[in-house]
Amino acid sequence: MTILITGGAGFIGSNFIYYMLGKYPLYKIICLDALTYAGNLETLNGAMKNNQFTFIKGDIAGRDVVNDVFNQYHPSHVVNFAAESHVDRSITDPGVFLRTNVIGTGVLMDACRKYETRRFHQVSTDEVYGDLPLDRPDLLFTEETPIHASSPYAASKASADLLVLAYYRTYKLPVTISRCSNNYGPYQFPEKLIPLMIANALQDKPLPVYGKGENVRDWLYVKDHCHAIDLILHNGKLGEVYNVGGHNEYTNLNVVKTILKELKKPESLITYVTDRPGHDLRYAIDPSKINNELGWLPETSFDKGIKLTIDWYTNNRSWWKTL
C-alpha cells in the first residue's frame, strides 16, 4: 500500500505519519506539504530516516505538482490533512482558506479519479456543524446534524465535505470523511489554545482567554484520532461520514487552569480578552457510529493526555521557540 498524506508536516498529519510508519512498516508513505507557516519540516526529522517515507514540497491546489506526484508514485490511498485551520486567521483572510481547503481538495480528487486511487479520505472537523447551547449538555453532534458553519474556516471545510460527497455520487470516487473534535498533543502549532497556553505559562507570559472562558470544547488526544483514521481508511464504508469525538468536554477556562496547575503557575497569569466574532459556544460529538461499525473509542483521558502534552512541550522547547 502506498499512502499519500497531504499536510503531513502539520500537527495531526505528522502524528499520523509516525503512527502509520510504526504500525505498518511495509507501507510506503508519501508526504506532500506546502510548508506554510504551520508546517514545520523539522517535525518530520524522525520520519526522514525511514526508507519507506518520502517528502515532497508542494501545494495541493497546484494541479501540475499534484499530477506529478500521482504520476510518479501512484498512491493507492490518499489522506487529506492539508488545510488552513485557524479560525482567527480565516476571519482576517478567508480567501486563503477557500483556495487550500476547497480548491485543493478538488484538485486532489481529480487526480484520484485520473489515477484510479482506491480510497480518498477527507479529514474534516466538527466545526462544520456550528455550535450547541451551553445549557443543553444532552445535545451532541451526530453525522445527521445539519451543517451550519459559523466561521469562514468552518464554511470552507463544510464546502470541501460537500464536494467530496458530490464526487462520490457523481463519479463513484471511493471516499470517506471523518469529522473530529478539537485535537491536542505533540507538534501542534502554538497559535492554538493548549500549546499557546503551555508555552506562555512556561515563559511566565500572560495567558489570553476569550470572553469569560466559558466556551466548551470536546478534546481528543491526537493519537486516538490517528487510530480512528487508520480504521476508517482500512474498513470504513465508502461514501460515509464518521464523527470522531473525545468524550472530554471542558470549558476553555478549565483547560487553562489545568495547565497552570500542572506547571505550578499562578492563575494570575490569566488575562481575559475581547471575545472572537461569532465564537461558537460548545462542541460535542457523538462517536456511536464509528464505535458500532469499527470498534473505535478514545483511549486517552484528558487528565492523561494533557499531562503527556505538557511534558512534550516542556521537553521540546527548541521546537516551539523557533516558531
Which of 33, 84, 126, 218 is flagged as catalytic? Answer: 126
Cell of 138: 444532552
* Residue 219 Rama label (left phi>0; alpha psi -120 to 50; beta): beta
Is residue 138 among the annotated active site residues?
Answer: no
- Tell the residue number behind the cell numbers 506554510, with chain if given: 36
Answer yes or no: 127 catalytic.
yes
Cβ atoms of 109 and 167 closer than 8 Å: yes
Catalytic residue among 84, 127, 280, 286: 127
- Reply yes or no on whether 126 is catalytic: yes
Catalytic residue among 129, 153, 242, 313: 153
Q: Which residues are catalytically annotated?
A: 126-127, 153
